[in-house]
Chains A and B, each alone.
Chain A
Amino acid sequence: MAKRTLEVDLATTGVDAQGNPITLPLGVDADAAAQASDGPALAGEHMLINIGPQHPATHGVLRLVVELDGEVVVRVIPHVGYLHSGFEKLGEYRYYNQLIPLTDRMDYLAPMSNNVCLAMAAEKLMGVEITERCKVLRVIACETNRIISHLVWLGTTSIDMGAFTPFLWCFQQRERIYDLQEMWTGARLTTSLTRIGGLMADIPDGFEDGLREFCKTFPKTIQEVDSILSNNGIWCGRTQGVGIFTAEQALDYSLSGPLLRASGVAYDVRKDRPYLDYETYDFDIPLGERGDVYDRYMVRLEELRQSTRILEQALDRLPDGPINVDDPRITLPPKSAAMSDMEAMIFHFKQVMEGIPAPVGEAYFSLEGPKGELGYYFVSDGTAKPVRWRVRPPSFINLAALPAMCEGRLLSDMIAINASIDIVMGEVDR
């Protein structure tokens, strides 16, 4: 059979020896394509189609260059970088506390998880012990954000499969958590909740009651979504057996989070390397058996229930006390003191002008984000700004498995698989 060469601008072009731009040839071997597809090979050209960067199902500015044989996906090339903001480089010019607003904008569907992760990484670097109340509040922050992130996932995935209604049910519940976030931090999306050594604010009056009310009524929504989708023949047909990843494959691709657990690997940072006293909470890790889209759906659905459980426990044990560490080098003195007390004013000045110096060294801290293992890595040279800041973005690493999951399947399956990975482009591109 004739070999056809398609010229594709892959956006990662370099220049050759003569200084001319190289366009990478996307050699399409007809025989290989026939093997990839299920049915017999039909003579004809393959179609190259751009899904994204502006497409309703790519959940942001992900661009997928898809080669189609009829409707069978022969190969997928994900292109990232449309939302690149250089956060990691920006971080090298900022004090640790100034990084927190940057983290909001990474996984903007779960900003508080990122806030907490950054603060914990910096605290690990500096050797700061946070207060008990702060720990519990951070657990509340993480779990509420797991819930909103999973709700967005659930809603958008059901839209991708054509079921519009669960989307709005999910978003209504998400709105309730956003209201609570607004109460707490004043912002709905970019919360900037944490500070090194504590939080920007204690929870306001009415927050606890609001969250309790949410925990009480929220399972009903999960139940509704469960009953409209989990047993639906069309939904099962679209998700079961689609995008199967075995446990071995999932580990090879370094997947984490619900994706990994759906493949049957019981790895959850909350259980395996507990932080914020997660070992004292009573919750289960849902595990899938086959690693298909349906299992990922079921795992996330169950995680919503488990997160509600954790939230209830956290509310029950929420101790009184300060939220910030009692160390004037780390915690800003109250404004009233800074205006009246000489010593407090000096600390205030020093912190604002010079930041919080970290000891020489490096620190890596990871927590179980909604999308997988979220890790922040700092290298410090002893100044108040990191020399290097690096993020382990779970969606970026999970996204790398997309081509392996969908090649040889139908275009519609690719949409379902892409949805099941749960990416957020702010985090992928950073």
Chain B
Amino acid sequence: MTPEFKGLLLAAVVKIVVVFSVINVGVMLIIWQERRQSAFVQDRRGPNRVGPFGLLQSVADGVKNFMKEETYPAAADRILFLLAPVMAFIPAMLGFAVIPFASPWPGFDFAMPVLGRFVSAGVVPMVMADLPVGFLFVLAITSIGVYGIVLAGWSSNSKYAFLGGLRAGAQMISYEIAMGMSLIAVIILVGNVTLSEVIGRQQDSMWFIFPLLIGFFIFMVSAFAETNRLPFDLPETESELVAGYHTEYSSMKFSMFFIAEYSNMITASALMAALFFGGWDIPFTTWDEGDPSVVKSLVTMVVFGLKTWLFLSLFIQIRWTLPRFRFDQLMHLGWKFLLPLALGYIMMIATTVWALDALGVAFGIRYALVLFGANIVLSYGLFWVLDRDRLFGGSRPGNKRRIA
């Protein structure tokens, strides 16, 4: 083995181990945060007994789930029933592979007593796999996650689970379209789908949340639907379908669905941070864009973690605030609102970009600001539609009806 190959291998293995464990520990922490934050919203205390501040509550729950009995419904398709949680779990872990989580690590060249010399070829990008297909890979992988849920619903041979599985299938496919459409705007602006390129473009101009405000909005709504979080948790709907697709699951098989849901959330949040909030970019400074160093890598990693965590907190806060959609309303929102909006948005962004290029404006802050202005104009109209005249028009009393 050449030192270069060994260096490549070392970097890859370390990154995989670190990211995998960070995600899994992150899932545990996020479950804890969800419970604490919901407690905060609901004037309760939440879990605070196991470990400091109850931080080890998820560990205790995990141990409990390991100990619990594995049950199989008598009429279940045993193979698919066992396979379904795995099929939901693996894509949830894979999605993170293409997301850069820090600025590049400086190249290394060192020798170890038995193993010999390790050399990296240039800087080490802090992404597990900087695939040329970029975030399309994430979309593809999350589509596979649907199979786990649909198969779970089908193989349980339970009517509740079946309805949950059907809902999940329809919902996730519908919102994937809107999600993909919202990302086309990003592609237009970047001209590439590689996430490191996306982040680089944002460093050149400004975070895409500004020039692609509405795109972010569409993406966020779709991400909520894709991760089956409230207000889109129709595959679960504990009040209608008992527990939806995982009604018949127990112990670790249930846990895997649970972990998959949260790791999907982490991936979605990381993607939002990477696509629209500059990824690991630190705002108001170009220090992080210079020559790679270990400190820069670590600091940007923390910054990226913070951005992701903010979105996760948003996921949690929304879950404990909103009621749930009805299924036809969900479909209505996906197909009749988000999809036309996304299509119109693509047109608008494409036209503006074409006009800017024709005028010879160089890609940069001015370029982005013009797009931001276009977004503001559109969002005003959008608000007017969504708001049904409550804040702006003032002509109708809105949704609320008075009782005589």
**Which residues of A are at the interface with B, using a C-beta cutoff of 8 A?**
47, 49, 55-57, 71, 158-165, 168-169, 172, 228-238, 240, 286-289, 294-295, 298-299, 301-302, 410-413, 415
Please determine whether A299 and B233 come into contact, CB atoms closer than 8 angstroms.
no
23 chain-A/chain-B pairs, Cβ below 8 angstroms: A47-B159, A71-B163, A159-B239, A160-B239, A162-B230, A162-B323, A163-B322, A165-B41, A169-B43, A231-B390, A236-B400, A238-B325, A238-B329, A240-B399, A287-B403, A289-B404, A298-B402, A301-B403, A302-B403, A410-B328, A411-B163, A412-B237, A415-B240
B38, B239, B242, B320: most-surrounded residue (chain A CB, <10 A): B239
The smallest beta-carbon distance between A216 and chain B, in angstroms, is 18
Please determine whether B320 and A287 come into contact, CB atoms closer than 8 angstroms.
no
The smallest beta-carbon distance between B57 and chain A, in angstroms, is 18
**B366 an interface residue at 8 Å Cβ cutoff?**
no
* Complexed CA–CA distance, A56 and B230 (Å): 18
List the A side residues contacting B325 at CB < 8 Å.
234, 237-238
With A162-B230, A162-B231 known as contacts, the answer to whether A230 contacts B400 (CB < 8 A) is yes
- Give chain B's interface secondary structure class: loop
* Complexed CA–CA distance, A231 and B387 (Å): 11
Question: Across chains A and B, which 10 residue pairs bring their CB atoms closest together, nearest first?
Answer: A162-B324, A168-B42, A163-B323, A236-B399, A57-B239, A161-B323, A160-B239, A298-B403, A286-B403, A412-B326
A164, A172, A238, A294: most-surrounded residue (chain B CB, <10 A): A164
* Complexed CA–CA distance, A148 and B9 (Å): 65
Please determine whether B42 and A162 come into contact, CB atoms closer than 8 angstroms.
no
Contact of B239 among A162, A229, A240 (CB under 8 A): A162
The smallest beta-carbon distance between A295 and chain B, in angstroms, is 7
With A234-B231, A238-B326 known as contacts, the answer to whether A57 contacts B240 (CB < 8 A) is yes
* Complexed CA–CA distance, A71 and B237 (Å): 14
What is the size category of the interface that chain B forms with chain A? 35 or more
Please determine whether A55 and B242 come into contact, CB atoms closer than 8 angstroms.
yes
Please determine whether B401 and A289 come into contact, CB atoms closer than 8 angstroms.
yes
**B44 an interface residue at 8 Å Cβ cutoff?**
yes
* Complexed CA–CA distance, A412 and B164 (Å): 12
Contact of B327 among A234, A286, A412 (CB under 8 A): A412
B159, B231, B240, B390: most-surrounded residue (chain A CB, <10 A): B240
**Which residues of B are at the interface with A, using a C-beta cutoff of 8 A?**
38, 41-44, 159-160, 163, 230-231, 233, 237-240, 242, 320-329, 386, 388, 390, 398-404
* Complexed CA–CA distance, A298 and B328 (Å): 24
List the B side residues contacting A298 at CB < 8 Å.
401-403
* Complexed CA–CA distance, A238 and B327 (Å): 10
Please determine whether A56 and B403 come into contact, CB atoms closer than 8 angstroms.
no
* Complexed CA–CA distance, A151 and B190 (Å): 53
Q: Which residue of A lies closest to B319 (CB)?
A: A164
The smallest beta-carbon distance between B45 and chain A, in angstroms, is 12
* Complexed CA–CA distance, A165 and B328 (Å): 24
The smallest beta-carbon distance between A69 and chain B, in angstroms, is 13
Please determine whether B233 and A162 come into contact, CB atoms closer than 8 angstroms.
yes
List the A side residues contacting B398 at CB < 8 Å.
231
